[in-house]
């Protein structure tokens, strides 16, 4: 009877996740409940996990195949990924309500990439990415409310409401770039500056599988290798460039090998620990003066390419569902933490509640904060320029730039 009660209670606590407990290797429902009702002091302080071996290109040795995760780290990663997931779902909602307009590319599904990368570098290192930038804006230190307010075009947005989805910036984060692939040479330029000024800093230069076929990427590889720049080229392979699958677009889908003379690793981008360990490995390579490294993160986006793409004309609903149920990055971390006594279902649920509250408050701010005044429309174009006239969308309207 007691067992039955515990099982029923467990189902209530876990919701749909209860079904997952039947999977091989999952802990029983009864033991989950015991974990859920323990004091925080009873949790394990760390656990060691086997992680997927990376495929290597021009390397004798690769990143480790085990990773230690402390309870503190796990809770932090969980909260961060969940915040990004909820922020993206809220953006989807605000878009459908026509409160967010224009271009908007969501990052849900890919959370383990930006959170795993950030966990392996220093805040003084540099990050540049394409237009799917919300997650990076957050991991680089921008508050959710500033990101959502940027999306709604409000004064309190991280680019003062004038950049929108594709143009967010933070300290040591260079956007947010709308021209496919164009951020890659810029990233190499940032890495050149790190080297030129003799700083122990590196640049993570991100691009998609679609961008990976561009000519400028290969020109950049050449210069970065020639000058041994501390740059990690990171291809987030989410299997599609807009509606085109990688198989239809690329003669070789081994993106980690496409730097030819640049060493490369292929990484499970749905596992935050794999991403973290691989990035630490690549960062050490760059910092030791050996030049660039290429990393392919195998990942998946749940939403369509942009808000005008329902995302199901070039892939099946079943495919999306399968990734969600078998390799969701948040579920993977959650299961690891719960099954190894680093946390409990109950504790993680508490985090979910806090995250939802933060997102709601941020959305409230993003929908009530005023829009930037018209007379400031031309400001903040250049940092140090004296005032000059900026032509508006109508040729008769001129704005003054005042820096
Ligand atoms: C130079 C250029 N060509 C085309 C486009 C239109 N475009 C926007 S996104 C995109 C696909 C990019 O796919 P991928 O690099 O895989 O990034 P993902 O959307 O998957 O994150 C294209 C062709 C553009 N913005 N810039
Ligand atoms: Mg892609």
Strand 244-245 and strand 240-241: the pairing is antiparallel
Instruction: Please give the mean pLDDT across all residues of the chain.
Output: 91
Q: Is 107 in the pocket of ligand 1 (CB under 6 A)?
A: no
Q: Would the CB of 210 count as within 6 Å of ligand 1?
A: yes
Q: How far apart are CA 100 and CA 224, in angstroms?
A: 38
Residues at Cβ < 5 Å from ligand 2 ion: 208-210, 238, 241
Q: What's the rounded Cα separation, in Å, for the pair 246 and 315? A: 12
Nearest in space to 295 (alpha carbons), one of 329, 262, 256: 256
Q: Band of the pLDDT at 319, cuts 50, 70, 90?
A: very high
Nearest ligand (C-alpha, residue 207): 1
Cα 242 to middle of ligand 1, angstroms = 6
What pLDDT score does 39 carry?
Answer: 64
**Residues 26, 20 contacting (CB under 8 angstroms):** yes
Q: What is the mean pLDDT of residues 15-29?
A: 38
pLDDT digits (tens, 9 = 90+) for 125-141: 999 999 999 999 999 99
Residues forming beta bridges with residue 256, ordered by sequence position:
none
Yes or no: say if 234 and 264 are a contact pair by the CB < 8 Å rule.
Answer: no
pLDDT digit string, tens, across residues 187-226: 999 999 999 999 999 999 999 999 999 999 999 999 999 9
Average pLDDT over residues 79-100: 98
Closest-lying ligand to the alpha carbon of 237?
Answer: 2
> Residue by residue, what is the 3-state secondary structure of 247-309?
HHHCCCCCHHHCCCCCCEEEEECCCHHHHHHHHHHHHHHHHCCCCCEEEEEECCCCCCCCCCC
Mean per-residue pLDDT, 217-245: 98
34-48, 177-191, 368-382: least confident range: 34-48
Q: Smallest Cα–Cα separation from 11: which of 345, 248, 266, 260? A: 345
Give the span between the Cα atoms of 73 and 369, in whole angstroms: 34
CA of 61 to the centre of ligand 2 (A): 28
Can you give the pLDDT at residue 10? 43
Instruction: Look at residues 375, 341, 376, 295 and name the one whose alpha carbon lies nearest to residue 40.
Output: 341
Query: What was the pLDDT predicted at 38?
Result: 56
Q: Which two tokens stand for residue 184?
A: 């890659």
pLDDT of residue 357: 98
Q: If you measure from the C-alpha of residue 181 to the centroid of ligand 1, how many angstroms do you get, rounded to a whole number? A: 8
Q: Which residues of 241-257 are buried (b: 16+ CB within 10 A; e: fewer)?
A: beeeebeeebeebebbb
Q: Who contacts 353 (Cβ-Cβ below 8 Å, separation ≥6)?
A: none
Please work out whether the CB of residue 169 comes within 6 Å of at least one atom of ligand 1: no
Q: Has residue 353 got a pLDDT over 70?
A: yes
Give 40's pLDDT tier (boundaries 50, 70, 90).
Answer: low
Q: Are 229 and 292 in contact (CB under 8 A)?
A: yes
- Is the CB of residue 302 below 6 angstroms from any atom belonging to ligand 1? no
Q: pLDDT class for 30, splitting at 50, 70, 90? A: very low
Pick from 233, 268, 238, 256: nearest CA to 116: 268
Q: Yes or no: say if 148 and 91 are a contact pair by the CB < 8 Å rule.
A: yes
What is the average per-residue pLDDT within 138-146? 98
Distance 240 CA to ligand 2 centre (A): 4
Cα separation, 43 vs 28, whole angstroms:
17
> How close is the Cα of 106 to the center of ligand 2, in Å?
12
Which residues make Cβ contacts (< 8 Å) with residue 337, sequence separation at least 6? 69, 71, 74, 75, 78, 343, 348
Among 167, 210, 269, residue to substitute to test ligand 1 (most atoms within 8 Å of Cβ)? 210
- What is the pLDDT, as a whole number, of residue 35? 47
Banded pLDDT at 380 (limits 50, 70, 90): confident
Residue 50 pLDDT greater than 80, yes or no: yes
Q: What is the mean pLDDT of the segment spanning 371-385?
A: 83
């Amino acid at each position: 009877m007691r067992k039955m009660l515990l099982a029923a209670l467990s189902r209530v606590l876990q919701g749909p996740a209860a079904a997952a407990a039947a999977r091989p290797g999952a802990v029983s429902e009864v033991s989950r409940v015991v974990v859920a009702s323990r004091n925080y002091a009873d949790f394990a302080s760390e656990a060691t996990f086997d992680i997927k071996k990376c495929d290597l290109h021009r390397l004798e040795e690769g990143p480790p195949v085990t990773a230690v995760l402390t309870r503190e780290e796990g809770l932090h990663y969980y909260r961060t990924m969940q915040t990004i997931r909820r922020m993206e779902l809220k953006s989807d909602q605000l878009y459908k309500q026509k409160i967010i307009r224009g271009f908007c590319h969501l990052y849900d599904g890919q959370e383990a990439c930006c959170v795993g990368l950030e966990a392996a570098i220093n805040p003084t290192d540099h990050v540049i990415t394409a237009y799917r930038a919300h997650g990076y804006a957050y991991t680089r230190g921008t508050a959710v409310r500033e990101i959502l307010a940027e999306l709604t075009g409000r004064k309190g947005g991280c680019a003062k409401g004038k950049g929108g989805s594709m143009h967010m910036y933070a300290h040591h984060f260079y956007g947010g770039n709308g021209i496919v692939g164009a951020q890659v040479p810029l990233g190499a330029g940032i890495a050149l500056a790190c080297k030129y000024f003799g700083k122990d800093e590196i640049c993570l230069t991100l691009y998609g599988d679609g961008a990976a076929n561009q000519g400028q990427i290969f020109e950049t590889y050449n210069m970065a290798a020639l000058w041994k720049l501390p740059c990690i080229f990171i291809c987030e392979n989410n299997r599609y460039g807009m509606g085109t699958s990688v198989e239809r677009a690329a003669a070789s889908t081994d993106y980690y090998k496409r730097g030819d003379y640049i060493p490369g690793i292929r990484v499970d981008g749905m596992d935050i620990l794999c991403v973290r360990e691989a990035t630490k490995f690549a960062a050490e390579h760059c910092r030791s003066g050996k030049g660039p490294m290429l990393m392919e993160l195998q990942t998946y986006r749940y939403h369509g390419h942009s808000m005008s793409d329902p995302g199901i004309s070039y892939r099946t609903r079943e495919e999306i569902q399968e990734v969600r149920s078998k390799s969701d990055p948040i579920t993977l971390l959650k299961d690891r933490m719960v099954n190894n006594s680093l946390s409990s279902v109950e504790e993680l649920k508490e985090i979910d509640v806090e995250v939802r509250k933060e997102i709601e408050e941020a959305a409230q701010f993003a929908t009530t904060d005023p829009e930037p005044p018209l007379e400031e429309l031309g400001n903040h174009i250049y940092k140090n320029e004296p005032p000059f006239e900026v032509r508006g969308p109508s040729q008769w309207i001129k704005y003054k730039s005042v820096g």
